[in-house]
Amino acid sequence: MFKILTLDDNATWDRIVLSFSKHDVYYLSGYVKAFQIHGDGEPQLLFYEKDGLKAIYVYMKRKTAIEGVYDSITPYGYGGVLFEGDVSPEKLHVFWKAYVKKMQELNIIDNFVRYHPVLANAIPMKEISTAIDLGKTIALDLSSPDVIWENIVRQNRNKVRKAEKNGITIYHAHDYNLFKDFIRIYNATMDKNNADEYYYFEEEFYKSIHEDLSDHYEMFYAVYEGQIIAISIILFANQQMHYHLSGSMIEYRNLAPSNLLLYKAALWGCEQGFKTFHLGGGVGSDEDDLYKFKAAFNRRSDYQFSIAKQIFDQELYDELVKERALRDPKFNKDSDFFPLYRN
């Protein structure tokens, strides 16, 4: 019924993932390897198969303050359980009961899920558990160059034209040497945004992207007067592109290099036969400046971002919350953060 795989058997892991018609890059072993290096936990793939229903779920297994007790979280980005086959309510309920039992057997007491907006895999999960709808995310329809252009809002089209008129040129390549420029520009961008320490990655993280996701990434970068002023890591798999990580030099943002970069990346994706280019949403699912920047690339985008907060052992969960409260006098027990003891 269940198989639990680790990166020690990455070949079987990927073979199972690729057998799902709607798989995406976030489910591949090469994607989660970088986040294991980053310290996010131990990646595991749960594979379920019974009575015509198949399911996969990729999660990061994390140690807690109690020895031998773990929690789990969707890897950075998007994921959640992906079903294939007979998704009737009856079969889904059988899966859910078995899934909860398996998590308990693995001593995983809770799980935080970020569902995949484009795959809309929160919808079947709502039949059997609770999923919380948050904000919207933006994805471009890559049906044709005309569709891409028509969906861009007028003000953003003007910025794309402005960038070209100002002499910005967009290039793309699959070259590890570009990561040096990426790290420099990306880290400066994080500094400007006062980003949390989590969003700074070591060189080994980027090396893993280059080696373990070799067939699933492309670097796009904007050049102005001989220097790179904006750069992005674009991921892709199974006809889907993703705006993964990016940075731009603040002193050149008035030239709109990122606007032109994303437009050219979308055209490239169209040429490659990809169907969607997912840009994501705002910070914390808010319709902030980042969201508005992305929304300007598709006036018709309407993808729902949903999460889930799953508790498999309430007693141990409460014990960890109590332990955290005793240890930290500033602990906010009324926070919405999940799991609460990691707030």
Domains in the chain: ranges and CATH:
2-129 (3.40.630), 137-304 (3.40.630.30)
pLDDT for 285 equals 60
pLDDT for 176 equals 96
Rounded to 5 degrees, what angle do the CA atoms 198, 200, 205 make? 100
12-48 confidence digits (pLDDT tens): 999 999 999 999 999 999 999 999 999 999 999 999 9
Can you give the pTM of this predicted structure? 0.95
pLDDT for 286 equals 66
Q: How far apart are CA 70 and CA 305, in angstroms?
A: 26
pLDDT for 203 equals 96
pLDDT for 333 equals 87
List, for the chain, all residue ranges whose pLDDT scores fall below the cut of 70: 285-286
Q: Where are the beta strands (DSSP E) in the chain?
A: 2-5, 42-50, 53-63, 70-73, 82-85, 108-114, 132-141, 169-173, 217-224, 227-237, 240-248, 276-280, 303-311
Q: How far apart are CA 250 and CA 252, in angstroms?
A: 5
Cβ distance 157 to 149 under 8 Å? yes
pLDDT for 12 equals 98
139 alpha-carbon distance from chain centroid: 13
